[in-house]
Amino acid sequence: MSTDNNPDAPPEKNKPAKNGRAARLSAARAVTDIINGRISMDQALFEQPRYAEMDGRDRAFARLIASTTLRHLGQIDHAIAQYVERRPSPLAESLLRTAAAQLLYLGVADHAVVAETVAVMKRSRDRKTANAAPMANAVLRRISENKETLASAVPPETNFHDWLRHRWERDYGPEAVRDMAEIYAEIPPLDLTVKSDTQGWADTLGGTVLPTGTVRLTGASDVTALEGFEDGQWWVQDIASALPIRQLGDLSGKTALDLCCAPGGKTMQLALAGADVTAIDKSKSRMARTRENLERVGLDATLITADVLKWRGVADNSFDIVVLDAPCTSTGTFRRHPEAIHIKRRGQMRELEELQIKMLDAAARQVKPGGLLLYCTCSLQSEEGEDQIRDFLKRAPDFSRNPFLNAETRAFHPDAHRNAEQSGVLRSLPHDLGKLGGMDGFFSACLRKSV
C-alpha cells in the first residue's frame, strides 16, 4: 500500500521540458544504480540532487524513461547487442539503454533521442562515457532505422531474469509467464480502497468499480491532487493487496493484530471493518508513515514500533485475527515497481524464507483458540507462499486451512480456484484481470486455530 504518486504516468503527459537532457541523464543514472546497487526506483531517483531540482515534467519524464527501460531490459539489450561488440562503461551503457527505450517503446522523436543522448555523453565528466559518444551516435542511428523489427525481435519474457522465469514456468506454466511478461510491459492503472460511497467516488474520479469494491483509475499521476485525498476518503492499494482483508467481512467487536503493518493499508482496512486494531512494525520511519495515513483517513489503531519476533503482547493467544504481511522478495509487484525483478538475488529468497518461518511461528502464538491467522506475501515465489503454509501446518497441528473466499471474489477472480485443492488459499497472478490492467501477484492463506 502506498499513497505515493503513480510510478508511471502515460507518456503523452510526460514530455520533457526544454531539451530533456537533465531528465535523460537522471534516468540513466537511476538505471545504473538500480541494477548495480539493487536499490528501489525512488531511492535511485531521489538520491540525485539534480532530480529534486528539475521541474515536474522532467521528473516525470525521467521516471518514465527509467521504468520503461527496466520493463523492456532484455529486449533492449538484445537490440543494442546487434551493433555493439563490447559492453561500454556502466553509465554509457545505461544511456544507450534508456535511449533505446525511448526509440523502441516510448515513441519519442528519433532525432531528439539521438542528438540529446549524444550531447549528454559528450558533456559527461566521466571520460569513458564521453569517449563513447561517437559509438552511441552510430548505434542509436542504426536502432532508429530498424526499430520496428528490433522492438519485437525477441519475446517479452526475455525481460525476466532466467532464474525467475524458470521458477515461474515451473509453477504456473510457459503460457502464464508469457501473459505476465506482456502485462509487465504496460503502464499499470491505479487502485483505490474507498471508505464509503464507492460508486460515487468512482464517478467523481472517472474510475471504474471492480467487482470486489476496489476503484480503478487510469492515467492518474499526482495522486495527492485528486479530489478526496486530503479529506481522507480513500487510499491507494492494489486490488490484490486489498482482497484478503475484504474476505473477512464485518469485524465489529473483534481484536486484530497487524504484523509488519507499514505503511498501513491492511491496518486501515481492518479498522474500517470495525476491528480493534493493534499494528506493529519495527521501522520508525515507516511507522510514522502509517500514523500519517491513519490520521489522514480518520481511522484509529494502536501503533507499536517493535520487532515482531521480539514483541510480546499482554499475553499469548490474545487476538481474534492476526494478519502477517510478511517481508518477501516482492516479485509480484513488478507492474507498479518494475525494478522489483532486477534488485532481487537468488540467495536473498532463502534468507527471507527463514525469516518468514520465524514470523509465522511468532504470529501463531498471538491467535486465540478459534481465531484466524491470515498470512500474506506480495511474492510470486511458491517458496514464500504455498510451501510456507504447507510446512507451517506440519509443525502447527492446532491450525488448519479455513475457507475464506466470499461469493463475489469466487465469481469475479479468474482463478479463485487455482488452488481449489487447498481451501483457505488465494493466489493471484499479474495477468489476472489482464484486460483491465492486471493486478499484483499475491498470495494469502487463512488458517483457523482449533478451540
CATH 3.40.50.150 fits 239-449, yes or no: yes
What's the pLDDT at 2? 39
Q: What integer is the mean pLDDT of 138-164? A: 97
The span from the CA of 27 to the CA of 42, in Å, is: 11
Q: Give residue 8's pLDDT band: very low, low, confident or very high (50, 70, 90).
A: low
- Model pLDDT for residues 101-118, shown as the tens digit of each residue: 999 999 999 999 999 999
pLDDT band at 268 (very low <50, low <70, confident <90, very high): very high
Nearest in space to 92 (alpha carbons), one of 123, 59, 70? 123
At 372 the three-state DSSP class reads: strand
Q: How far apart are CA 133 and CA 249, in angstroms?
A: 60
Instruction: Kindly report the CATH class assigned to 11-153.
Output: mainly alpha
Domain extents for the chain?
A: 11-153, 239-449
**C-alpha cell, 83:** 551493433
Query: Which pLDDT tens digit goes with each residue over 384-420?
Result: 999 999 999 999 999 999 999 888 888 776 555 455 5
**CA separation for the pair 140, 441 (Å, rounded):** 35
Q: What is the mean pLDDT of the chain?
A: 92
**Predicted local distance difference test score (pLDDT) of residue 219:** 83
Nearest to 2 by CA among 192, 232, 263, 187: 263
Question: What is the average per-residue pLDDT within 46-56?
Answer: 91
**pLDDT at 3 exceeding the cut of 80:** no
Pairing of strands 190-194, 215-217: antiparallel
The yes-or-no answer to whether 11-153 and 239-449 have a common fold is no
Evaluate if residue 17 carries a pLDDT over 60.
no
> Which residues, in sequence order, are CB contacts of 269 under 8 Å at separation 6+?
193, 237, 242, 245, 246
Query: Cβ(252)–Cβ(318) under 8 Å?
Result: no
Residue 169 has pLDDT above 80, yes or no: yes
pLDDT tens sequence across 171-218: 999 999 999 999 999 999 999 999 999 999 999 999 999 989 999 999
Location of C-alpha cell 540532487: 49
**Among 155-169, 347-361, 406-420, which stretch is predicted with the lowest mean pLDDT?**
406-420
**How much is the average pLDDT of 381-385?**
96
pLDDT at 223: 92
Residues in Cβ contact with 111 at an 8 Å cutoff, skipping those fewer than 6 apart: none
Residue 10 scores a pLDDT above 70 = no
> Stretch 247-270: mean pLDDT, rounded?
97
The tally of CA atoms less than 13 A away on the side-chain side of residue 194 is 24
Instruction: Report DSSP letters for 46-92, one per residue.
Output: HTSHHHHHS-HHHHHHHHHHHHHHHHTHHHHHHHHHTT-SS---HHH
For residue 38, what pLDDT is reported?
A: 94
> Is the CA virtual torsion 302, 306, 308, 311 positive or negative?
negative
Average pLDDT over residues 254-283: 97
Report the range of poorest mean pLDDT among 222-226, 272-276, 330-334, 378-382.
222-226
Q: Has residue 163 got a pLDDT over 90?
A: yes
Q: Between vectors from CA 288 to CA 284 and to CA 289, what angle results, nearest 5°?
A: 120
Q: What distance in Å separates the CA atoms of residue 361 and residue 354, rounded to the nearest whole number?
A: 11
**Average pLDDT of span 425-448:** 94
DSSP state letter for 164: H
